[in-house]
Amino acid sequence: MQRPGSQTKTEERPKVIDIIAEGLSLVLVRPWLLSVPILLDLFYWVGIKIEPNALIDSLIRIVNDSKVENSAEVVKSLEEMTSADISQMIGFFSPTMLNQAPRDEIYQLVDRMVWTPSSAGLVLIVALGLFLVSALGAMAYGAPIGDAVLGRKRGLKQLARAIASAWGKFLLLIGLLIGGAIGVAVPLLIVAAIAGVGGVDLVPLYTTFAAFAVIFGIFLTPFVLDAIALIGAGPLDAIRFSLAIFRANKLQSIGLVLALLLIVLGLPPIARPLLSELPGVIIAVCAYALLVTGFIAASMLFFVDRMRKWRPELIQLPAPAPALDLSSQGETHS
């Protein structure tokens, strides 16, 4: 089996800047690929607001009854969360512009409906439902982009089945990550409790460790969702493929991740002054959706190009080739 990155010295792979340009071009001629982030922003803009008051009240009662140290500060922090909007969870796994801006800075088109679930249990059920819908939205967003990258045409039923399958694999991936995190956290918390008896506070160290673990995870496995959406890889295979592509293309992979993070996290603060007026909201939402989707398409193009050099049997390209003509980018044929 050919290992990733085992190209001959005479071969040159597409440059990251060229792949980003191709990703943006691919999206420009397929504007329907922008539908998920635009619809999510529309929901956040005019949709229902869900307040978790019942859950917060239950937590406040638990804190007061337990008489923990600094309970007054904990209660005050909880009280500040009573007007939070858990409906924002619907965009947890997909890029949205308006979720990253303070609500009072966004032009108010209509008065949003407010729903306050009557019990803590109902709040948790709603939050879980929003989380599941968010994961489904991520796959409904990624699968059509993957089809466009591969030049793959599927009917609505085929696409729906592919999205459902990818959703299941994504949820399994999330479950494995949560299970792994719990498996690591439990012994660490036991150690922290023992150390706390001796007056040693390990929480700051653990917090720093967790932050670095998340950052390293983002940079070491940047193509996991690409593998699921593009080729239907299972969670473990998706992680393995992503790690292999990263190891063989470290600088290019890091460049892609940094570019995507710059757009996802850097563009909303820049566009925030536009959000106070109706035309500005429309322009900012559409521009953000276009740029983020283009960069995600570029990530998939990069993954496809590198995977075809390592595991070509996993990437089936119909004729004609997708927007980026991979066959003309230094690939040799036997």
What ranges in the chain are assigned the alpha helix state H? Answer: 16-28, 35-46, 53-66, 71-79, 120-150, 156-197, 203-220, 224-231, 235-248, 250-271, 278-310
| 3-state SS class at 50 | strand
Q: What CA–CA distances, in Å, run from 297 to 54, 72, 135, 152?
A: 41, 48, 18, 14
pLDDT of residue 326: 46
Cβ-in-10-Å burial (0-12, 13-18, 19+) of 279 comes to exposed
pLDDT of res. 104: 86
The arithmetic mean of pLDDT across residues 98-114, rounded, is 88
- Mean pLDDT value across residues 165-173: 95
Per-residue confidence (pLDDT) for residue 195, from 0 to 100 = 78
What integer pLDDT is reported at residue 311 of this predicted model? 80
In the block, residue with structure tokens 């290019």: 252
Does the bond joining 14 to the residue before it have cis omega, within 30 degrees of 0?
Answer: no
Instruction: Give the pLDDT band of residue 184 (cuts 50, 70, 90).
Output: confident
More confident position, 290 or 4: 290
Verify cis geometry, omega within 30 degrees of 0, for the bond prior to 117.
no
Q: Which has more confidence, 196 or 296?
A: 296
Phi and psi dihedrals of 119, rounded to 5?
-140, 160
* pLDDT given at position 4: 54
- In this model, does residue 8 exceed pLDDT 60? no
Assess whether pLDDT exceeds 60 at residue 320.
no
Rounded-to-integer distance, Cα 21 and Cα 331, Å: 20
Q: Can you tell me the mean pLDDT for 208-236?
A: 87
The pLDDT > 70 percentage for the chain reads 89
Indicate if the pLDDT at residue 1 is higher than 50.
no
Between 263 and 9, name the one with better pLDDT. 263
Percentage with pLDDT > 90 across the chain: 45
The predicted model gives 308-322 an average pLDDT of: 69
Which of the residue ranges 2-6, 41-45, 113-117 would you say has the lowest mean pLDDT? 2-6
* pTM of the complete model: 0.83
CB 217 within 8 A of CB 291: no
